[in-house]
């Protein structure tokens, strides 16, 4: 979260660049407001987390770690309408996968329902809360507008005794859903509409994933959240900018519910990623309509989807660092995320050969029945990944577009009479080809020069092209999935007329007959590889079987994206 840069003019001093949140924390510590920093990530378990949440997770965890403090994972499960245990478990897995270690500090807002109820009673006794019988629509009408003040509820002046009785009866289930609410008594003429006697509790007979049917009243988020922070000893409640207008209410609640060490709310800018779908409502519809195969479909940017596609925690951590922490909302190009995964994997993973659109290559002058084992570096840039053996024989597979019977200008691969190098192997020269009844090339015939074996020291001549291959006899036949953006980037994410998604019909291409190096038969879920000249791939966790891996393309080899110069 911070960066240390050497000052060449003063070798023995360091200049530390801090984001504005760190500056606030530094000041609070210096003034003795807090002895130990505590931050939290407070998701509502009503869906899967997405890439935007990763920024909040890593920011809060990074601050706790930097200051030697505590990081909490707390579920804001105050709205049982959409909450499910499935989402709780997925969120826990995502947070741990990102490396944000919450240890024993796993909490649920629902564990504090009794305390919240007691604090609501305290507000009633202090004359700061009342039971209101207005309907939700009437409350909106009474609230007023940005230009006009609201007006008091006709129930605002109920006595403390009556409010205590009514609120207790609400808890005991005496009244139907929606018939009464508990509201704060603040100021119906406040310029900030959030302060115009906001609702604190509503009646809702809903079964809760954690508390079952124990409660029929549930606290509103703006009342519950500051109390949750205060109970846990959170010092800095870091949230996104849309909660800036809610901060006065946050402070009102922690002040009037009487906490010795009230937390401080700080807002930072959300991270908007271009041309991706992050809205839970839209993702839910994509799942229900069968357009994607679940919340972790690799075309989505939920954290589970990124993990399944093959993104690493380190690549997302790097992405969040590059985006930084700001006070103003801005958009980030999806290509930056792709840059981060390429940069992370290029030194980590072996570079293997895979032929996605195969045609057979027959070396006519290679001995029939002979197989030799060739040496290949797993990653030339990282010798620690060592080498492997690849079987080589008379019949191979090459990519269809690595041969042209009539070459286009500047074509440097195989065509009749041209010579190229087979990667890790020999020079071969195309002689002829066979075609099917539709005129498609099915077999390319060539000859090889045995003097040109890689590592032989041959210097007699050079070739302009190198192509990859796999041995026909030993090749693994595999399913490979090629992903593009789920949305049509030219049209944008949303249709301006009806708000629907502009989907890309080519977001998924499935290749059933890819031919891979035999070593890839033993690849396990989440194993990642570079397929030379094609991109980075990993083994799908759901659909792969032992000896029959399914590969997801994480990202293509290259992009026009470049990091901005500092």
Per mean pLDDT, which range of 46-50, 203-207, 332-336, 456-460 is the poorest? 456-460
Q: What does pLDDT average to over the chain?
A: 93
Amino acid 1: pLDDT: 39
pLDDT of residue 17: 53
DSSP for 321-342, please give it. HHH---SS-EEE-HHHHHHHHH
| Coil, helix or strand at residue 28 | helix
Q: Which of 203, 469, 480 is closest to 359 using CA atoms?
A: 469
Q: Domains in the chain, please, with CATH?
A: 20-268 (3.40.50.620), 280-349+479-556 (2.40.240.10), 354-468 (2.40.240.10)
Q: What is the pLDDT of residue 566?
A: 56
pLDDT digits (tens, 9 = 90+) for 473-513: 999 999 999 999 999 988 888 887 788 899 999 999 999 99
d(CA 58, CA 392): 47
Mean pLDDT of 36-63: 95
Strand duo 528-531 + 535-539: pairing: antiparallel
Q: Residue 168: enclosing H or E segment and its boundaries?
A: helix 160-171
Give the pLDDT of residue 451.
95
| Closest among 547, 556, 526 to 478, alpha carbons compared | 547
Token pair, residue 33, equals 């407001």
Residue at token pair 């707390």: 74
How far is it, in rounded angstroms, from Cα 287 to Cα 294?
5
Q: What are phi and psi of 106, to 5 degrees?
A: -110, 120
For 66-90, write each residue's pLDDT tens digit. Answer: 999 999 999 999 988 888 889 999 9
User: What pLDDT band is residue 460 in, cutting at 50, 70 and 90?
Assistant: confident
Quote the DSSP letter at residue 50: B
- Interatomic CA distance for residues 367 and 373, integer angstroms: 14
* pLDDT value of position 563: 75
Q: Which distant-in-sequence residues (6+ apart) come within 8 Å of 252 by Cβ? A: 184, 186, 195
Give the Cα separation of 185 and 252 in Å (integer).
11
Give one DSSP letter per residue of 523-544, joined into a string. --TT-EEEETTTEEEEE-TTT-
Q: How confident is the model at residue 330 (pLDDT cuts 50, 70, 90)?
A: confident
Confidence of residue 565 (pLDDT cuts 50, 70, 90): low
Q: Is the pLDDT confidence value at 14 over 70?
A: no
pLDDT of residue 10: 40
Q: Which residues fall within 8 angstroms of residue 59, CB to CB, at 6 or more apart?
A: 1, 21, 238, 268, 320, 325
Q: Which residue has the higher pLDDT, 391 or 10?
A: 391
Spatial separation of the C-alpha atoms in residues 232 and 527, rounded to whole Å:
39
Q: How many CA atoms lie within 13 A of 319 on its CB side?
A: 30
Residue 53 has pLDDT above 90, yes or no: yes
């Amino acid at each position: 979260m911070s960066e240390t840069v050497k000052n060449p003019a003063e070798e023995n001093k360091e200049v530390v660049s801090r984001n504005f949140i760190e500056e606030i924390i530094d000041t609070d510590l210096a003034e003795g407001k807090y002895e130990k920093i505590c931050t939290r990530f407070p998701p509502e378990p009503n869906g899967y987390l997405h890439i935007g949440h990763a920024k909040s997770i890593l920011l809060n965890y990074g601050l706790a770690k930097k200051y030697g403090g505590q990081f909490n994972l707390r579920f804001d499960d105050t709205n049982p309408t959409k909450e499910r245990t499935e989402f709780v478990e997925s969120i826990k897995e995502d947070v741990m996968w990102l490396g944000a270690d919450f240890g024993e500090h796993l909490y649920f807002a629902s564990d504090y329902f009794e305390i919240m109820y007691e604090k609501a009673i305290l507000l009633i006794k202090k004359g700061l809360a009342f039971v209101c019988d207005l309907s939700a629509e009437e409350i909106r009408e009474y609230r007023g507008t940005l230009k006009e003040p609201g007006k008091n509820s006709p129930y605002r002046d109920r006595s403390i005794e009556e409010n205590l009785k009514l609120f207790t009866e609400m808890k005991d289930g005496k009244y139907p859903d929606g018939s009464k609410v508990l509201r704060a008594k603040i100021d119906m003429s406040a310029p900030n509409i959030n302060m115009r006697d906001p609702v604190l509790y509503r009646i809702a007979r809903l079964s809760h994933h954690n508390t079952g049917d124990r409660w029929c009243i549930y606290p509103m988020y703006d009342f519950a959240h500051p109390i949750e922070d205060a109970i846990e000893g959170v010092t800095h409640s870091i949230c996104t900018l849309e909660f800036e207008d809610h901060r006065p209410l946050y402070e009102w609640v922690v002040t009037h519910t009487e906490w010795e060490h009230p937390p401080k709310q700080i807002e930072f800018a959300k991270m908007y990623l271009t041309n991706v779908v992050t809205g839970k409502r839209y993702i839910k519809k994509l799942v229900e309509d069968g357009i994607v195969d679940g919340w972790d479909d690799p075309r989505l940017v939920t954290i589970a989807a990124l993990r399944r596609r093959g993104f690493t925690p380190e690549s997302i951590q790097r992405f969040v660092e590059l985006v930084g922490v700001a006070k103003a909302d801005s958009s980030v190009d999806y290509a930056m995320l792709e840059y981060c995964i390429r940069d992370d994997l290029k030194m980590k993973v072996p570079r293997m050969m895979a032929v996605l659109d195969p045609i057979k290559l027959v070396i006519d002058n290679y001995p029939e029945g002979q197989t030799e084992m060739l040496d290949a570096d797993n990653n030339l840039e990282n010798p620690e990944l060592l080498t492997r053996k690849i079987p080589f024989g008379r019949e191979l597979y090459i990519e269809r577009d690595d041969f042209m019977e009539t070459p286009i200008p500047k074509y440097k691969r195989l065509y009749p009479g041209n010579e190229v190098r087979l990667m890790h192997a020999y020079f071969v020269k195309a002689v002829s080809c066979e075609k099917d009844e539709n005129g498609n090339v099915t077999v390319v015939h060539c000859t090889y020069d045995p003097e040109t074996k890689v590592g032989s020291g041959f210097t007699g001549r050079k070739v302009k092209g190198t192509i990859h291959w796999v041995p026909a006899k030993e090749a693994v036949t595999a399913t490979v999935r090629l992903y593009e953006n789920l949305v049509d980037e030219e049209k944008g994410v949303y249709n301006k007329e009806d708000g629907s998604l502009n989907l890309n019909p080519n977001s998924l291409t499935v290749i059933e007959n890819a031919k891979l190096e035999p070593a890839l038969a033993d690849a396990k879920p989440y194993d990642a590889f570079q397929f030379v000249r094609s991109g980075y791939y990993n083994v799908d966790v759901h659909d792969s079987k032992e000896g029959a891996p399914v590969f997801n393309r994480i990202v293509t080899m290259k992009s026009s994206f470049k990091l901005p110069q500092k």
